[in-house]
Structure 1
């Protein structure tokens, strides 16, 4: 998937555990784990905003778009 979730990087930078983020934001640990692992199919803007507020960061520091090179080659053909 071309969307990379860097939640683990931001947690490490802020020296915060996933459990602490869960308590601060009010999102279940299970849902944050799904997001952190990149298995989430969607994320609500309100959830993203709460995470960004708790981690004092911007959405682009958590979500990254990295196109799959195979998709770029197929578009050129």
Structure 2
């Protein structure tokens, strides 16, 4: 099982650059880049809420759960 971060998709849909989003929500471009690539171990709800507000979306628009093929029910 895994969680896929779809932040790049929402940025494209909203025609917004990562640099602009980082500035709006008050985090560094480097941290936003790490989040976009899925290389973070967690994200604060406060940060997630700020991203959702800036992109006018829901958390489910940014995160996608995928079950592995051998996962039990």
Structure 1 runs of 4+ off > 4 angstroms? none
- What does residue 18 of structure 1 align with? 18
Tell me the TM-score normalized by structure 1: 0.89
Greater percentage in helix: 1
Q: Deviations over 1:2-32 (max 9, x none)?
A: 1000000000000000000011111110110
RMSD of aligned C-alpha atoms? 1.2
Structure 1 residue runs of 5 or longer lacking an equivalent are none
Take 1:69 and 1:33, find their aligned partners in 2: how far apart are those partners?
Answer: 29
With structure 2 as the length reference, what TM-score do the two structures score?
Answer: 0.94
Residue equivalent to 1:47: 47
* Residue 63 (str. 1) matches residue 73 (str. 2): no
In the alignment, the residues of structure 2 paired with residue 13 and residue 22 of structure 1 have an alpha-carbon distance, to the nearest angstrom, of 16
C-alpha distance in 2, partners of 1:29/1:8?
13
